[in-house]
């Protein structure tokens, strides 16, 4: 069977992307990067998901981005809360991590080269995300070309393909797709600012986008939200 490296954060989108890769006939080599994110609970979620999806391997790589800073996810900046859908579509929020997908895809491409994988799957999405520049199709295309030029596999004509199957799907459609592939949504974690016991806050951009998607798909979100929030 052919192999794929899947960037697996433990979140909803990356889990659906992994399920798509499995549907497409790939053996799964999941890669989770512990980059110093405040929502480190997602790493445990990724471990559970790797087992549920019967991944061949699951590599958790420590790559601390906190010294670089510049993000609410790796520093002391406040995570935006209670923002409307219109507000979430304007500008680039404090949860943007400088260079994150560029770094992650570089590591994933290196991993793909060592395990003989032809494709890297990433759960990037340009519709429901808050204007992150490294989720755009032009970035993914440019990175794929750079990887072909800058790797041994690429120079030998075996360059890795970067595949973002959810790129243009609304969140509700991603959830419906996940349902059809029997994705274990209850294992996923999307919150940027979870409580000390791991419950989703229900108020950050990621929680709000997730909840809106489940409502639009008319599916109950099975994860636990903090008491006192709209979801909890």
- What percent of the chain is modeled with pLDDT above 90? 81
pLDDT of residue 131: 72
Domain residue extents for the chain = 2-184
Instruction: State mean pLDDT over 9-13.
Output: 97
pLDDT at res. 213: 96
Count of other CB atoms within 10 angstroms of residue 48: 15
pLDDT score at 230: 66
> Does the structure show a pLDDT above 70 at 168?
yes
DSSP-based three-state secondary structure for 35: coil
**How far is the C-alpha of 93 from the C-alpha of 80, rounded, in Å?**
8
pLDDT tens, position by position, 124-167 = 998 875 678 888 999 999 999 999 999 888 889 888 999 999 99
Tell me if the pTM is above 0.85: yes
What pLDDT is stored for residue 129 in this prediction? 59
Record the tokens describing residue 52, joined without a space. 């549920």
Say which DSSP state 200 is in. B
Chain segment 84-105, per-residue pLDDT in tens: 888 888 888 899 999 999 999 9
> Range with the lowest mean pLDDT among 105-109, 157-161, 185-189, 217-221?
157-161
Distances (CA, A) of 6 to 40, 138, 222: 18, 20, 24
Whose structure tokens read 């420590």?
62
What is the average per-residue pLDDT within 157-181? 95
Predicted local confidence at residue 159, as pLDDT:
84
| Residue range 38-50: mean pLDDT, rounded | 95
Give the integer Cα–Cα distance in Å for 9 and 50: 11
Lowest-pLDDT choice from 42-46, 209-213, 228-232: 228-232
Q: Residue 133's pLDDT is what?
A: 87
Helix (H, G, I), strand (E, B) or coil at 7: strand
pLDDT tens-digit map of 112-123: 999 999 999 999
Q: Which residue has the higher pLDDT, 221 or 1?
A: 221
**Which of 27, 41, 13 has its CA nearest to residue 193?**
41
User: DSSP 3-state helix, strand, coil percentages of the chain (rounded to 5)?
Assistant: 40, 15, 45
C-alpha to C-alpha distance for 112 and 106, rounded to whole angstroms? 10
Contact 35, 100 (CB under 8 A): yes
- Fold observed for domain 2-184: Rossmann fold (3.40.50)
Specify the pLDDT at position 232.
62
> What phi and psi values does residue 119 have, to the nearest 5 degrees?
-140, 140
Structure confidence at residue 13 (pLDDT): 97
Our separate counts of H helices and E strands in the chain read: 8, 5
CA distances (Å), origin 170, targets 78, 90, 177, 186, 217: 27, 17, 11, 20, 10
Q: Select from 27, 62, 65, 33 the least CA-distant residue to 46.
A: 33
């Amino acid at each position: 069977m052919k192999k794929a490296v899947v960037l697996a954060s433990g979140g909803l989108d990356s889990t659906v992307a992994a399920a798509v890769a499995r549907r497409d006939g790939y053996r799964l080599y999941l890669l989770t990067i512990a980059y110093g994110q405040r929502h480190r609970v997602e790493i445990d979620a990724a471990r559970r998901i790797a087992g549920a999806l019967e991944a061949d391997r699951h590599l958790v790589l420590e790559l601390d981005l906190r010294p670089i800073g510049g993000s609410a996810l790796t520093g002391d900046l406040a995570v935006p809360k209670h923002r409307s859908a219109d507000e979430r579509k304007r500008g680039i929020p404090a949860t943007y991590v400088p260079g994150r997908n560029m770094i992650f895809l570089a590591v994933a491409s290196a991993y793909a080269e060592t395990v003989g994988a032809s494709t890297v799957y990433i759960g990037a999405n340009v519709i429901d995300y808050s204007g992150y520049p490294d989720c755009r199709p032009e970035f993914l295309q440019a990175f794929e070309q750079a990887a072909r030029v800058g790797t041994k596999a690429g120079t030998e004509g075996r360059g890795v393909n970067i595949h973002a199957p959810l790129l243009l799907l609304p969140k509700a459609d991603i959830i419906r797709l996940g349902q059809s592939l029997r994705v274990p949504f209850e294992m996923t974690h999307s919150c940027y600012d979870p409580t000390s016991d791991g419950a989703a806050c229900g108020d950050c951009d990621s929680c709000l986008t997730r909840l809106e998607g489940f409502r639009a798909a008319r599916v109950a979100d099975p994860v636990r939200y903090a008491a006192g929030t709209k979801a909890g």
